[in-house]
Structure 1
Amino acid sequence: MKEEDVNRCQIQEWYPKFKSVSIRTFIHELPESFVQYLLDDSGPFLLPASISNEDAFPNRIHNPEEEEDYQVSEGSGDEAEALSAPCFPELELKIKESIETLGGAIFPKLNWSAPKDSAWISTSGTLRCTTFSEIALLLRSSDSLIHDLCHAYDSCSDKTMSRPPKFFLALRKWYPRFQPEMEFRCFVKGQKLVGISQREVTTFYPVLCEKKNKVEVLIEEFFNDNVRVKFESDDYTFDVYVTEDERVKVLDFNPWGAFTLPLLFTWEELEQK
């Protein structure tokens, strides 16, 4: 795998080419100060101060007596400065505008990955976000995003860097009726579609037994008509969603092998196809 193969799978690289057959997404370049905020684990866990007074936990019960225990007394200037929350007003305003344009709810993603491992910490237990504070909470709590931030090129045979020069935050429209059983990962080797796996592998979906052949035809047609010619790598994977009216939407691209999960396959059997 080459660095160029990894770079092509960044959402800011592939989305403009596949915008018409993907879900609505706004992409913002992240300031380096926010990237460093995500990487910083030297101090307490602090969410950014919101210029809109947004709260990542709007339904929590505030107990003034408990909050007094965490207040820094006057005169301890060094401690107060150390505990001051960071603030990213320009980024927050841009994100707020994008969320409103996308219908009020989104799910976030960095260059390659979404913070799926931190969904448990949100009030909904999902990646659904309506504010900048909720996005920051998910990103800051995610261990899997360390891959994007520090290890994206570790498996490259021509590795020259450990991170991309710029990071981006993709805000993807949230669809409340999204059906996990209709999301699939497709494996392409030598520009040929060699495998299709359900994306959610922890659950058995009887409906897939009924729709298997139809879904396979839809995805193969979509690959031949929309993906094979446009995506420049020879070996890669792409994730799609099949809608109720049998339209196929591309959700993501990932490199072949390395950190990409083969799901119901093994990489050994995929290599032999």
Structure 2
Amino acid sequence: MVQKNNIKKSPHTFNDDKFPLLNKNNIDSCRYSNWYPKFEKNYAQYLVKSYIMNDIPESFVTFLLQDNIKLKYDGNLEFNDNDEFSDWSSDEESNDNSSDAADPISSYVDPAIDFFEVNNFISNSFKKSEKLTPRFNWSAPKDSVWILPYNNTMLTYTNEDVYLLLKGSNYIMHDLIYPYENVKGAENGDVNNHSLILREWIDDINPSMEFRCFIKNGLIVGISQRDIRTEYCYLNDIVGDLKIKIENFVESVFKPTFFDSEELEENGSEGQNAVIDMYLNLDTNYIKLIDVNPFCRSTEPLLFSWNELITKNTKEDYEFRLGENNTKLGARDHSENQIPLEIFDASLDPEKLRELTYEWSRLLSKQIKEEDC
């Protein structure tokens, strides 16, 4: 069944207890460094070639989490004290070392020295492929793509590109600090073996052919178009072929490889829950498994609501939803992360908000007077 998302759904509230039981093993099974090797052994053709560094050093984690750090690498990019970046610094900044000595938090970090293992790993990966995209175990830095000048993508060409994307991303911060926030009784600090993944960049990706598939207790309960801000009319003509391809992949490749065979024998399909992102090209029979996500609220349901997915009657055929122009058009992804720092700060402090409003009014009045003269 294909449904176009042209009816505004009424909001539903429901308790998280309706979700399938979630434990640390469920979250850890979706770690990129866990599921990628499983498929690489027999189904490498369905993967995007990736280079994985496990157990990254604590010095690199500290660098990513800490504010007010300047990154200096071969005289190129650096973070200044306001967490901005530039490819130059003033003579005053360059010659004034006293402030750095007094404030070690704002001192320069040299990747080749301070986390040389990570720096060497990234350099060696670029020797194998000149175009890479970084991520951590559960998340990619999609919210910080605006930092780099590569058409709002996660494409990187240099070590500095990688550092900027990772350090500017709230998604990466979430991976580092709160990976188990949806697991009752689990301590987020339990993660001590973070992994850095660099995936080879694929040119000419067609965003209309990316889909998210929701699997509950071993059954597909919904498939959604990934690019929910655009209507691709031609998908209606090929949706039947898409369903066959995705269903065959889930049954013959994904489920037997991803889920534990011993648990399957003991519990059947109960507990076989995951949300997978896929890319397809029907003309070339090209299928790529892009990501595996936990079946929980922190995973975006896209054109569905979680209430629909949780309460889906599995005896009925699932819905394959395609977007229309009235879905979620109008804003770029993660544009909320791109507001000026002054406005963000002012939103947290009423006094700063008044000062910002006054200054804006003053400058506006001055401009009007100048134009009238």
Q: How high is the TM-score relative to the length of structure 2? A: 0.66
1:110 matched to 2:136? The reply is: yes
Alpha-carbon shift at residue 207 of structure 1 (Å):
2.6
Worse-superposed segment, 140-149 or 105-114: 140-149
Identify if the C-alpha distance between structure 1 residues 130 and 77 changes in structure 2 by more than 3 Å, giving closer, same or farther. closer
2:156 alignment counterpart: 129
Identify if the C-alpha distance between structure 1 residues 62 and 110 changes in structure 2 by more than 3 Å, giving closer, same or farther. closer
- Counterpart CA distance in 1 for 2:24 and 2:301 is 20
Question: Aligned residues, how many?
Answer: 264
The gaps in structure 2 that reach 5 residues or longer are 1-21, 80-84, 260-270, 313-373
Alpha-carbon shift at residue 183 of structure 1 (Å):
0.9
8 A contact 1:111–1:167 mirrored in 2 = yes
- Counterpart CA distance in 1 for 2:38 and 2:97 is 55
8 A contact 2:100–2:107 mirrored in 1 = no
What does the per-residue CA deviation read over 1:114-138, in whole Å, with 9 as the maximum and x for residues that have no partner? 0000000112121001111110000
Q: Indicate which of 93, 111, 119 corresponds to 1:70.
A: 93
1:239 matched to 2:277? The reply is: yes
Q: Indicate which of 9, 15, 23 corresponds to 2:30.
A: 9
Amino acid of the structure 1 residue aligned with 2:141 = P
Identify if the C-alpha distance between structure 1 residues 179 and 252 changes in structure 2 by more than 3 Å, giving closer, same or farther. same
1:152 matched to 2:179? The reply is: yes
Mapping for residues 123-202 of structure 1, pairs under 5 Å: 123-124=149-150, 125-202=152-229
1:225 matched to 2:263? The reply is: no
Alpha-carbon shift at residue 61 of structure 1 (Å):
9.2
Structure 1 residue ranges (4+ consecutive) displaced by more than 3 angstroms after TM superposition: 52-57, 60-63, 74-77, 79-82, 160-163
Q: Specify the SS of the correspondent of 1:265.
A: coil
Q: CA RMSD in A?
A: 2.3
Identify if the C-alpha distance between structure 1 residues 266 and 258 changes in structure 2 by more than 3 Å, giving closer, same or farther. same
Identify if the C-alpha distance between structure 1 residues 76 and 180 changes in structure 2 by more than 3 Å, giving closer, same or farther. closer
8 A contact 1:56–1:137 mirrored in 2 = no
2:288 alignment counterpart: 249
8 A contact 2:47–2:289 mirrored in 1 = yes
Alpha-carbon shift at residue 210 of structure 1 (Å):
2.1
- Counterpart CA distance in 2 for 1:4 and 1:272 is 24
2:51 alignment counterpart: 26
- Counterpart CA distance in 1 for 2:166 and 2:208 is 25
What does the per-residue CA deviation read over 1:22-49, in whole Å, with 9 as the maximum and x for residues that have no partner? 11011012211101111112xx2422x3
1:216 matched to 2:243? The reply is: yes
1:269 alignment counterpart: 308
- Counterpart CA distance in 1 for 2:163 and 2:100 is 26
Identify if the C-alpha distance between structure 1 residues 265 and 131 changes in structure 2 by more than 3 Å, giving closer, same or farther. same
- Counterpart CA distance in 2 for 1:22 and 1:193 is 21
8 A contact 1:111–1:170 mirrored in 2 = yes
Identify if the C-alpha distance between structure 1 residues 226 and 158 changes in structure 2 by more than 3 Å, giving closer, same or farther. farther
Alpha-carbon shift at residue 79 of structure 1 (Å):
4.0
Amino acid of the structure 2 residue aligned with 1:33 = S
- Counterpart CA distance in 2 for 1:162 and 1:80 is 27
Q: Specify the SS of the correspondent of 1:129.
A: coil
8 A contact 1:72–1:80 mirrored in 2 = no
Identify if the C-alpha distance between structure 1 residues 218 and 77 changes in structure 2 by more than 3 Å, giving closer, same or farther. closer
Alpha-carbon shift at residue 149 of structure 1 (Å):
0.9
Q: Specify the SS of the correspondent of 1:264.
A: coil
- Counterpart CA distance in 2 for 1:74 and 1:270 is 57
Alpha-carbon shift at residue 176 of structure 1 (Å):
1.8
Identify if the C-alpha distance between structure 1 residues 91 and 61 changes in structure 2 by more than 3 Å, giving closer, same or farther. closer
2:4 alignment counterpart: none
8 A contact 2:148–2:161 mirrored in 1 = yes
2:341 alignment counterpart: none
- Counterpart CA distance in 2 for 1:6 and 1:62 is 39
Amino acid of the structure 2 residue aligned with 1:17 = K
- Counterpart CA distance in 2 for 1:62 and 1:265 is 43
Identify if the C-alpha distance between structure 1 residues 249 and 165 changes in structure 2 by more than 3 Å, giving closer, same or farther. same
Q: Specify the SS of the correspondent of 1:193.
A: strand
Q: In proportion to residue count, which structure has more helix?
A: 2
- Counterpart CA distance in 2 for 1:56 and 1:248 is 39
Alpha-carbon shift at residue 157 of structure 1 (Å):
2.8
Which structure would you say has the larger Rg? 2
8 A contact 2:64–2:166 mirrored in 1 = yes
